[in-house]
Structure formats: C-alpha cells, structure tokens
Amino acid sequence: PPPSSAWRTRQIYMAHFALTDVAAGRFRFARKLSREALALAGAQAAPFRVWIDDWSLEAASGAAVSGATWTLRAAQPGYEVDLVLEPLTPPVLNGEAGFSRKSAEPGDASFYYSIPRLEVRGRLVRDNHPIDVRGLAWFDREWGSGALRAREVGWDWFALQLNDGATLMFYALRNRDGTRDRHSAGTWVDPSGASRPLTSEEVAIDVLDHWSNARGTRYPSSWRIRVPSLSLEVGVRPVLADQEFRSTPTYWEGAVDVSGTRGGAGIAGRGYVELVGYAAERSSRRATGAKALLGR
C-alpha cells in the first residue's frame, strides 16, 4: 500500500488454536494471520491484551502477569472457547534468571518464563452444544531474535503437571546427527513452589513408540522420562496419536497422560508435548536424495 494507506503496517500477527477432543477422538486446529493495521490484530501492555480478529487473550486487571485474571476467547468450525484463567503460581524464570541459551553462540537465546498452573473455568461449545468446563492450564512466554544453529533440526518440549503439585518442563534440542544438543534444558518446580533448573545431563528420555501421518512423517509417540536427581521416572503417552498441526511449519503438539513414580511412590498427571522439525527433517532428507540422484 502507499505510505498514506491505512492498510500499511510493519507488524504481522499469527495465532494457532488447537483443540483435542478426547471423547470424540478428534483433533482440530486453525490458524489466523493478520496485519496490525486498522486494529485487525495487535498487542498492548496496560491493560494487557493480545488479539487477532475475534481471538483474544486479555487481563482484567492491570498489566501485571502474576495475579491477573485473564480471559481467552477463540473459535473455529465446530468448536469455541470462552475461558477465565487465574494463575495459581507466580511466574517461573527458565534458564539463567529467564535467559535461555540454545547454543554456544551469544545470540542463540531467548527470554523465557512459565506459569505452570492456572485455574481454568468457562465454556466450551462443541458442535453448537455449550459445555461448562474446569481444569488446569500452563502458560509459556518465550521471545528472542535468534534461531537454531545449522546443526540443529528441531526440539521436543515437555510440560508436565503432576498430581502432587510439582511440575516439570524440559526441551530437548535435536541435532542433525540424531544426538541431543548439550544446551537442552528444563525447570523443575516442587509442590512448595520452589524451582530449580535442570541440565541436559540430568534428564534421560527414552522413546518407546512412534506414530506416522499419511505422508510418512514419523513422530515419537510414547516416552519414558527419568530424572535420577529427583527420584522421578514417568511414562508419557498422547491421549490421541494424531495431534499434528498441519500448517507452516507442520508440527505435532498435543495433550498427554503421565504416570510413574517419584521417590518410590506412585504419581500421575497430565501435560502437553510439542515436537518441531520432524516434517522438515523428512522434506530435507527427500530433497538431499533428489539432489544426489540428479548429480550422478
């Protein structure tokens, strides 16, 4: 648009909305992309509000994250949510006081904090039928200007809420040679609310099963996570195998069930897992093979 146009903007906003309907055995997702011009999308700090079209997350009181009551509204064909979220814990700073390194390069990092438990209540509309809902949520906020190194292809991110009040967050950065990058890290929050960082060496993750989509992209689909320093060993399994967000980029992110032991006692929980880079890895392998064939 010309410089004087009301449509002209320097900001583009994108939002994803996914819903796992365990009872119906289906996963639904939607994406919105909009410019900031004409207030089609935007963000403000006081009072806090982020929106894109009719999707929004906003705070009812002031700009502070801790203690604020938030409302979340979004809709897609067949589903609509109108929720109230109240933090049950203060924000937890991940990494080095909120500075999360992704490689040895100074710029490969982000600022990263979490609110591992929020009380949720409100309404879900499924196929035009309203349902009152209650539960727990997890809020993550991460931002930065860096990107993954050329040797890194993606990450596996785990956010687990255990029924004894503890929470575990861990992200495993994957290298092209199949190894885990040493900058993989996480955060443990005990039932009292005290938190401590977790290094890559402290957390062992074994993949127990896989799931493949119709295009042949293969994702891990069951894990055993062990943290000996916490006497913790849990199994993590998706509530539905197919929770793939088919967009740009394509990735898998969905709800999981957790069960295992901590300190010899049984423990259970729920969580969310994000798997990024698997579709790109497959495309990269196919492209490399094509180039090799053409080069003969």
pLDDT, tens only, 272-296: 999 999 987 555 443 332 222 222 1
Cα–Cα nearest to 130, from 182, 79, 59, 197? 79
| Contact (Cβ atoms closer than 8 angstroms) between residue 38 and residue 7 | yes
Answer whether 170's CB lies under 8 Å from 186's CB.
yes
Average pLDDT, the chain: 90
Give the helix/strand (H/E) hosting 211: strand 204-212
Round to whole Å and give the CA distance between 256 and 158. Answer: 10
How far is residue 237 from each of residues 52, 113, 210, measured CA to CA in Å? Answer: 32, 25, 11
pLDDT in tens, 162-191: 999 999 999 999 999 999 999 999 999 999
Which parts of the chain fold into alpha helices (H)? 278-294
All domains of the chain, ordered by start, with CATH? 12-147 (2.40.370.10), 149-296 (2.40.370.10)
Can you tell me the mean pLDDT for 196-220? 97
pLDDT number for residue 105: 82
For 295, residues 6+ apart whose C-beta sits below 8 A from its C-beta are none
Output the pTM of the full model. 0.90
Is the per-residue pLDDT at 269 higher than 70? yes
pLDDT tens digits along 112-147: 999 999 999 999 999 999 999 999 999 999 998 776
Cβ neighbours of residue 175 closer than 8 Å, sequence gap 6 or more: 151, 152, 153, 181
The pLDDT of residue 62 is 53
How far apart CA 44 and CA 251 sit, in angstroms, is 29
Question: In whole angstroms, what is the distance from residue 218 CA to residue 154 CA?
Answer: 14
